[in-house]
Amino acid sequence: MKQEINSSHYLIFGLHNQKYAFESSYIKEIVPIPELTPADEVPAFIPGIFNFRGKYVPVIDINLRICNQKHNYSISDKIIILNKDGFIAGFLVEEVYQVVVIEDLSVEKIDSVFPSYKELNIQYVQGVSTVDDENIIFLNLDSLLTIYGNNAILTGLTESEENEENSENSRTVRNGYFIKDATENEIKILKGRAKDLRQNFQIDKSEDGYPVAVLGLIGELVGVKLDTIQGFSDVKKITQVPCCPNHILGQTNYRGEILTIVDISPALNAKYRTLTASNLIMIIKLSEGMTAIPVEEILDIHYVQKSDIKDLPVGSKIVNREFIIGTVKFNEKMISILDIEKILSKGNLAVNEEV
C-alpha cells in the first residue's frame, strides 16, 4: 500500500538576500507598502500600523524581529497580510517570489540542525529546505506573531529594555517619516496607497471565499485559485515534442517529473504564444496529474470574497466566457478568475491528441 505523503503550500519571500517561507494558507493578501502610522508603547520591531479595510493592522519588521537589525524601508517593499487564529498582522518584506508545494518530510526541523536550539534561543526558525537549488528558511508564525510574553522579545529582554536597546531605530520612525529620505512624490504615493486600503472596506467573510494567485497572462491580469497550483518555476530546458498540436509547447523536468507545457491561449480565443526564457511556468495539479502553463509573471496573492465576483466586462481580451468564473477588483483594476480545470479538460487542449 502506497504511503500518503503530506505536503503544504508555502509562500517564498525575500529580505536582505535571504529567502524565507511560511504556509500560504494564512495569507489574506499581499499589498505594496502604504504609509505607516507610528504606534507608541509597542516593541521596536513594529514600525507602525495601517488601516486595512476598516481594521488597524500592526506591521512587523521581520529583519528587526529575527536579526535585531532594522530594515531600510523602501517604497518598493511589500506587506504580507496574514490572519492567524483571528489575529491579523502584516509582515514587511522586500520581494515576494512564488508559491510552492513542499512535502513536509523535505523540511528539516531546526532541532535536527541545531540539537541545542533552545539554549541558542532560536525561536523564529522552524526548519530549512532546498527549493530549486536555494536554501529556504521556514519561519515559525506563532513565535513571530507573539508580540508580548515571556519568549516574545528577540534577546530575552523585557519590552522596555528592548525599546531602549533599539532606541535609535525607534526614534527614526517616531520622530520622522518611516521611510528615510522619502521624496515628496514617494510620500504622495504612500499616502494614496493607505487611502485606497482604508476606503476599500468590506465585511470579512473568510469562510465564503478563497485565495487566488494574480498573474500576468496574454496581456491581462488573471486570477487562478491557489488550491489548484502546485508551484511556479522558471523556464529551463524545453524538449520539443514532434507531431503535437500547436498548443503543446514542449516538455520540461520539474523536480524529477516530466511535465507537458500547455498554451491555454486558444481556449481563451487568444493568439498562440511563443515560450521564451523570460516566462514562468505555473504547475497545475489535477486528478489526472500535473501540467505546466506558461505565464508572464506572478504579482500577488489576493483573497477573493464570492460576493465580490462580477460578470466578465465587455472589452476584455479574454472573450471565451465559458472558462471564466467571473471578475473581481484588484488594485483598482478588474481581473478575470480562470477556471483552469475546465480549460484543461474542455478547452480542446488534449495533451495526447494525435496529428
Pair 186, 221 in one domain: no
Q: Is residue 24 part of a domain?
A: yes
The confidence score (pLDDT) of residue 157 equals 29
Per-residue burial over 247-274, b if 16 or more Cβ lie within 10 Å, else e, is bbbbbbebeeeebbbbbbbbbbebeebe
119 within domain boundaries: yes
Q: Determine contact, residues 150/32, Cβ cutoff 8 Å.
A: no
* Domain membership flag for residue 1: no
Residue entry with cell 499589498: 31
Looking at residues 168-174, what average pLDDT do you find? Answer: 42
Check residue 163 and give its pLDDT.
42
Q: Is residue 330 in some structural domain?
A: yes
165 and 224 belong to one structural domain? no
Asked if residue 96 and residue 54 are part of one domain, the reply reads yes
In terms of domains, do 121 and 232 share one? no
Do 125 and 263 sit in the same domain of this protein?
Answer: no
Q: Predicted confidence band at 9 (pLDDT cuts at 50, 70, 90)?
A: confident
Does residue 70 fall inside a structural domain?
yes
User: Which pLDDT does position 36 carry in this prediction?
Assistant: 92
Residues 229 and 245 in one domain: yes
Pair type for strands 27-32 and 78-84: antiparallel
Domain that holds residue 228: 206-346
156 band by pLDDT with thresholds 50, 70 and 90 = very low
SS3 string, 330-346, reads: ECCEEEEEECHHHHHHH
For residue 99, name the pLDDT band (cuts at 50, 70, 90).
Answer: confident
What pLDDT band is residue 2 in, cutting at 50, 70 and 90?
A: very low
pLDDT digits (tens, 9 = 90+) for 241-255: 787 788 888 888 877
Q: What is the domain count for the chain? A: 2
In this structure, is residue 353 part of a structural domain? no
Residues 237 and 170 in one domain: no
Residue 149 confidence class, pLDDT cut points 50, 70, 90 = very low
pLDDT reading at 352 higher than 60 = no
- Residue 252, φ and ψ in degrees, nearest 5: -145, 160
pLDDT of residue 153: 33
Confidence class for position 355, pLDDT limits 50, 70, 90: very low
Instruction: Give percent above pLDDT 70 in the chain.
Output: 76
Residue 2 lies in a domain: no
Residues 291-306: b if buried by 16+ CB within 10 A, e if exposed: bbbbbbebbbbbbbee
Assess whether 71 and 51 both reside in one domain: yes
pLDDT 10s digits, 36-95: 998 777 888 899 999 988 889 999 998 888 887 878 888 889 999 998 888 899 999 988
Which amino acid is present at 10?
A: Y
Give the Cα separation of 68 and 44 in Å (integer).
Answer: 10
Q: What is the pLDDT of residue 113?
A: 67
Instruction: Give the global pTM.
Output: 0.60
Q: Tell me: pLDDT of 130 over 60.
A: yes
C-alpha span between 77 and 59 (Å, rounded): 12
- Domain termination residue (choose one: 141, 172, 199): 199
Residue 325 lies in a domain: yes
Instruction: For residue range 200-243, list pLDDT tens digits in order.
Output: 544 444 457 888 888 888 778 899 998 888 888 777 778 887 87
Which among 179, 199, 219 is the end of a domain?
199
The residues facing 100 across adjacent strands are: 10
Last residue of a domain, one of 153, 178, 199: 199
The residue ranking higher by pLDDT, 320 or 263, is 263
CATH number of the domain that residue 320 is part of = 2.40.50.180
Q: How far is CA 194 from CA 133, 187, 258, in A?
A: 37, 11, 45
Q: Check residue 81 and give its pLDDT.
A: 92
